[in-house]
Structure 1
């Protein structure tokens, strides 16, 4: 999983929001195919503003789960913000692209922040999810997007500079999400992020303790965190090559990494359609998450290549 992500706020057209408030939504392509996952009622019983989905990067199933859920909720008239782990440096371009008509969005999006990412974050599945959500937004559903990864400006960097370890990055992630959610008063914010950032409790990493993004986000509103559980399959990731030697306090360079579609053991197959369960004991890391979302067998999604 990566440790790096930023702010992209892009809201739906005003007429879509008005229609949602009146519970009169335009017909959206494929919206009728979106099914609410079993167990979502458990989440709604908590009435959270933020639902954090800690994924294994580089799969088809993670973005697909969030895309389907956002579609199903928006089709019921809820104003939904989808927060994705893309760089704040691309904020302006993404906002501009989000306002384009459906036939121009994919072309514009393909030039924003995909090059040079081989770690499973900037995947074909992520690209497809954003294109689908934009199409639903264009049809009138109240869906916005925010790219929250990374410190967005110098002022934010200064305010969090005294936090230990990874703390400044995690705090910036949380603040970027919360600010975007407040700007348009969304009903729910769905956060898709590596499960490192989705933990509820403090993390000790490389001898330094800090608060992960989800713990910081809970200061801004009720937050539910879910870990992604899956059956055996594959995911696109970068792992150290056999025999690679990492020197202390030196960066891991590309020549030490094997980036590709790697087999992943996962959990025993539950033989069920994707669902959610609020059970910390079954989340894969007791105390770190409120529950889990199950996606079944996984398949790797390669980095999106704009020239394909």
Structure 2
């Protein structure tokens, strides 16, 4: 039976530059308080989106600092707003490409089974801010849209998907193989259907549109390899400061060249992050720079989130930090 009255689980409040998912209270509170409304009013497009759309990009990248409540919520807002306007949307998230088959299997399940199935797909033991409560809520919202009849899909794209891909890209310098695999995995997923918009949520280094030098090697980023420059709009996350959940070296811990970092050397928590003066505005997009700031040549523009707050892991397993050391890498 075709559903004609589509209910969208979206944000219905904006407060002091912060989305409704980021208001005070637990994420369970946010789920309980979410209001299902019909139509475009439930999911307004953020200010500045029309300027992005006017460029007609194939891909729009949101380069985030991992581990906030607000960044996944913002991408969810954009995806919801486009979907309720009849657009075909693909949302790419920085989870392992080897888990994508499990993501797709969960995507086909009814809402009552989706969340638990998703949490079994590579989320356990991750304290790096990628497998956060906010990320899970984003995927739950997108799944709700898809279940309601909207044309929206997801893909987990991070890293090489198999040995063959790894061998084929191994000749690239530095972190190049990883970046190239990210881009290729997104392109392949984007080619599967005639999507109107491909939204990519990824760490800000991968979103840069200029060559990066790291650990003595220079390499092209995912954003550079994803498509021609006009086909890609890359936005950098800007905030008024706050916290982000990530793993950092414990105070006084100084790693040596021959010392391997272990979970015992790390503190995974909501750590302070710096930001700009609070603009006291709802989240928005701006091509170029924030008012009064110089443009960052690594990106096409910014997305402003206001004050941010850390989002802890969606799957809590005390003492399990297998991927935490990876959070110290770009």
Q: 2:236 aligns with which of 216, 227, 236?
A: 227
User: How far did residue 284 of structure 1 move?
Assistant: 7.3
1:293 and 2:272 are equivalent in the alignment = no
Shift of 1:287: 1.1
Aligned residue in 2 for 1:203: 212
Of the candidates 80, 90, 114, which is equivalent to residue 99 of structure 2?
A: 90
- Partner Cα distance (1:306, 1:133) in 2: 23
1:99 to 105, 108, 112: 108
SS at match of 2:8: coil
Number of the residue aligned with 1:303: 313
Which SS does the other structure have where 2:68 is aligned? coil
Checking the alignment, whether the CA contact within 8 Å between 1:227 and 1:284 is kept in structure 2 is no
Q: Does the residue aligned with 1:29 lie in a helix, a strand or coil?
A: strand
CA contact (8 A) 1:202 1:209 kept: yes
Indicate the residue corresponding to 1:22 in structure 2: none
Q: Deviations over 1:16-49 (max 9, x none)?
A: 8xx9xxxxx6512335421100000110111001
Partners of 2:205 and 2:111 in 1: CA distance? 34
Structure 2 stretches lacking a partner, 5+ long: 11-38, 319-330
TM-score where L is the length of structure 1: 0.88
- 1:109 is aligned to 2:88: no
- Distance of aligned partners of 1:256 and 1:190 in 2 relative to their CA distance in 1, 3 Å threshold: same
CA positional deviation for 1:307: 7.5
Equivalent residues of 1:50, 1:221 under 8 A apart: no
Q: Which SS does the other structure have where 1:231 is aligned?
A: coil
Q: Does 1:172 align with 2:171?
A: no
Q: Aligned to 1:289, what secondary structure does the other structure show? A: coil
Q: How many residues align?
A: 287
Higher mean C-alpha displacement, 246-255 vs 40-49: 246-255
User: Structure 2 length normalisation: TM-score?
Assistant: 0.82
Give me the whole-angstrom Cα distance separating, in 2, the residues matched to 1:80 and 1:147.
14
Q: How many Å separate the matches in 2 of 1:278 and 1:175?
A: 26
Identify which of 44, 47, 54 aligns with 1:45: 54
Counterpart in 1 of 2:22? none
8 Å CA contact 2:142, 2:152 repeated in 1? yes
1:3-14 paired onto structure 2 within 5 Å:
none
Distance in 1 separating the partners of 2:93 and 2:298: 20
Separation of aligned partners in 1, 2:167 and 2:258: 24
Uncovered stretches (5+) of structure 1, i.e. residues with no partner? 1-14, 20-24
| Matching residue of 1:156 | 165
Kindly state the Cα deviation for residue 136 of structure 1 after the two structures are TM-superposed: 0.9
Give runs of aligned pairs for residues 178-193 of structure 1, distance below 5 A.
178-193=187-202
Distance in 1, matches of 2:117 and 2:316, equals: 10
Deviation at 1:113, TM superposition (A): 1.1
Partners of 1:152 and 1:61 lie apart in 2 by: 29
1:296 is paired with a residue of what secondary structure? coil
